[in-house]
Homo-oligomer: A and B are copies of this chain.
Amino acid sequence: MGGSIIGERFVAISFGESHGRCVGIVVDGCPAGLPLNESDIQFLLDLRKPGQSVITTQRKEEDKVEIISGVFNNHTTGAPICMLIWNKDSDSQPYEMIKSVPRPGHADYPAMIKYGGFADYRGGGRFSGRLTATLVMAGAVASKLLKKTLGIETVAYTTEIGTVKAGTITPVNIATRYNNDVRCPDSRAAEKMNDAILQAKRDGDSLGGVIECAASGLPVGLGEPIFASLESDLSKALFSIPAVKAVEFGSGFAGSKRRGSENNDVYMMKSGKVVTKSNNAGGILGGLSNGMPLVIRVAFKPAASIAKSQETLDVSKSVQVSLSVPGRHDPCVVPRAPPVVECVVSMVIADHAIRAGLIPPVLK
């Protein structure tokens, strides 16, 4: 299969470029009969949209989704759902120079070699963070499907920006995660994170961070042993998000430092349901969901495009040059990423739930 396709039964095919005519995605395999219209998707796109606060890029994109197939009478039909956003506010001028001067930390150089100069380099082309809008569109459909059929809910929120860490996260403060610009449930840490981003921006620099994601309501047994473990498919999808450089489940790296007796989660009954006392497994054992909430942490590197002068190479002349990346960029992509992570995780869960026969081809 081509490199732009993901999933087995809930399949998504991405297309479009940052400064081309549009960015879009086709979802093949969504059951028929799901109530769906553009507002179900727009709502999540708006949470990802640029230009909403001082800490995000000033590119103004309405990011208005259009569903151009697969929905009839406000319900999915079982046919492929094609969704797209027409690009509006793109300024390709600053990108002329990167044709031969690759930005450090960006895909420019490998893309130049891989595509022999034919790639649409404007705005980063296919490698732009703008493509995450397509993940949100596909994931919004998955998310609605999961809520309606299985009651599965996925939430993602910022826990770290640079060196600022959130304190205690509770179900109550998670519900408020979109109340601040950095999407952190801990409102006090959120302020410090905001300040840190503004400081980095003033310095012409950027910051990275960590997003945590939790999904509750999963049935027991999603995933397949070995190659289609839930961790395998979730990580594959999460690493599709530009700037993600690490993914961990449950206790992750911290768990690797513990003894088995500390890290194993003890089974018990609670309200007639088998649960575990702790959740170091992050809801996944042997690659299968165990009925506990999924807990995933995703690390984003600091945005590569910075105004601050950096050394790089003019590959056409093989000489060292200094570069201040032009264009309008996010000093930190993390605040825009929680809806993306939520959507990507929903997409994978929907795929596995259909594979497991838990969602029928037609919803009544």
Contact = CB atoms under 8 A, between A and B. Distances in A.
A232 B227 contact: no
A355 to B, nearest CB: 8
Contacts of A285: 105-107, 109-110
Interface in A78-111: 78-82, 84, 102, 104-107, 109-111
A54 interface: no
A98 B142 CA distance: 31
A267 B109 contact: yes
B246 A237 contact: no
Interface stretch (A9-17, A147-155, A179-187): A9-17
A263 B11 contact: no
A322 to B, nearest CB: 10
Interface of A: 1-9, 11-17, 20-22, 24, 26, 28-29, 32-33, 68-70, 72-73, 75-82, 84, 102, 104-107, 109-111, 113-116, 118-120, 122, 124-127, 131, 160, 162-163, 200, 203, 205-210, 220-221, 223-229, 231-233, 235-237, 239-240, 242, 244-253, 255-269, 274, 276, 280-282, 285-291, 299-306, 308, 310-313, 315, 318, 320, 355-357, 360-362, 364
A119 B231 contact: no
Assembly of this chain: how many copies? 4
Contact of A82 (B24, B244, B310, B355): B24
Contacts of A304: 260, 264
Contacts of A301: 251, 255-256, 258, 263, 280
A198 B322 CA distance: 54
Contacts of A6: 227
Contacts of A221: 110-111, 113-115
B69 A22 contact: yes
A77 B302 contact: no
27 contacts: A2-B29, A5-B11, A15-B82, A16-B69, A17-B69, A32-B119, A33-B118, A72-B119, A77-B120, A105-B281, A109-B220, A110-B288, A111-B286, A114-B356, A124-B286, A207-B259, A208-B258, A227-B237, A232-B235, A242-B286, A245-B251, A245-B256, A258-B301, A262-B302, A266-B312, A269-B313, A269-B318
Contact of A226 (B3, B7, B102): B3
A168 to B, nearest CB: 20
A253 B118 CA distance: 34
Contacts of A287: 107, 127, 239-240, 242
A188 B235 CA distance: 34
A248 B245 contact: yes
A161 B173 CA distance: 36
